[in-house]
Amino acid sequence: MTAKQLSVFIENRQGRLGEVLHVLKENGVNILSMSLADTTEYGILRLIVNNPEAGRDVLIEGGFSSIITEVLIIKVPHVAGALQSTLELISDKNVNIEYMYGLSVEEKDASIVMKTNDLAVACDVLRAAGIDTLTSDEIAKL
């Protein structure tokens, strides 16, 4: 199962990130995890939020370029080598991981947000290996 990630393209200038966060706060969109990658000109803010569609809509209304992307959120035990073993399962099926970042929503397991070039294959491989994934609906309840 996949989840929805909100991606926002922002100019790399002082205060712009704060403006994005303000729009989300004022509209009741709760951020559960985020990753910011930047260049000299712009940044890509990737967010896991409680309501991705509402987040996208209010950001677009606020003048921000925003899209929703399907990602995997996998649950990984807090054990040395667990992430590496999980990634090998995907790599063995020739699926490339485009990016990933941590998501801390539970105490027992770590959760990792992952974007691959073939979400369907990655999801099938993980499910067959008994690795849990979280959906946007499940994230919204946390």
Q: What is the tens place of the pLDDT at every residue in 19-48?
A: 999 999 999 998 888 898 878 888 999 999
pLDDT at 103: 78
Would you tell me which CATH number, out of the four given (3.65.10.10, 3.30.2130.10, 2.40.10.10, 3.30.428.10), belongs to the domain 73-140? 3.30.2130.10
Overall CATH class of domain 3-69: alpha beta
Q: What is the pTM of this model?
A: 0.77
Residue ranges, comma separated, of all CATH 3.30.2130.10 domains in the chain are 3-69, 73-140
* Interval 83-136: pLDDT, tens: 999 999 999 999 999 999 887 666 666 677 777 888 899 889 998 999 888 888
pLDDT at 90: 93
Task: Mention every residue, 6+ apart, whose C-beta is less than 8 A from residue 3.
Answer: 48, 70, 71, 72, 73, 113, 133, 134, 135, 136, 138, 139
The dihedral built from the CA positions of residue 76, 79, 83 and 86, taken in this order, carries a sign that is negative
